[in-house]
Structure 1
Amino acid sequence: MLQTGILFPEEMLASDWFGVFAGVVAINTLIYVVLGVSKLVPVVKFGRKSNGRNRRTETRSIYPDAAD
């Protein structure tokens, strides 16, 4: 059986500042979980319906007069 407060005294773990610190760490963890999960979700694009290749109005090729 493990004793309570092995690394820190039990009074420190019950203090107000330690509770605030634990809350900040919990919020930080939740933010990073949301950011990590958002990287896994596919991107949903709203707005113009284009196929992605023909977005430019003019060519930016080094051969601007070449046929497409």
Structure 2
Amino acid sequence: MIAAVRPLGILLPESVLSSPWFALLATFVAINTVMYVALAVGKALPRVYVTDWLRHRYRRSGTRSIYPDGPL
């Protein structure tokens, strides 16, 4: 009834999968995928500005408000 049983899911022979050019292609695809994920995550996160964390020279050391405990 069943003439020949072949393994399903294998598209390329083992000689192609173990060749150096296929390893180079797989490495390129892996690096490209990691870079794409890093850029997508970086774009989804809110922006961080370094200047917000540093103290500016033009900021006053004390408040000049009529409320002494107010924000600087």
TM-score by length of 2: 0.56
Once the two structures are overlaid, the 10-residue window that deviates more, 22-31 or 34-43, is: 34-43
Whether the 8 Å contact between 1:5 and 1:13 is mirrored in structure 2 is no
Per chain length, whose mean CA-contact separation is higher, i.e. which structure has more relative contact order (CA < 8 Å, sep 6+)? 2
Please report the RMSD computed on the Cα atoms of aligned residues, expressed in angstroms.
Answer: 2.5
State the aligned residue count.
48
Task: Report which of the two structures shows the higher radius of gyration computed on alpha carbons.
Answer: 2
1:19 equivalent in alignment to 2:28: no
1:7 equivalent in alignment to 2:18: no
Query: Paired residue for 1:64?
Result: none
1:45 equivalent in alignment to 2:43: no
Looking at structure 2, the residues matched to 5 and 24 of structure 1 have their Cα atoms a distance apart, in angstroms, of 23
How far apart are 1:11 and its partner, in Å?
A: 0.4
Which 5+ residue runs of structure 1 have no aligned equivalent? 49-68
Q: In percent, how many aligned pairs have the same letter?
A: 47
Which 5+ residue runs of structure 2 have no aligned equivalent? 1-5, 53-72
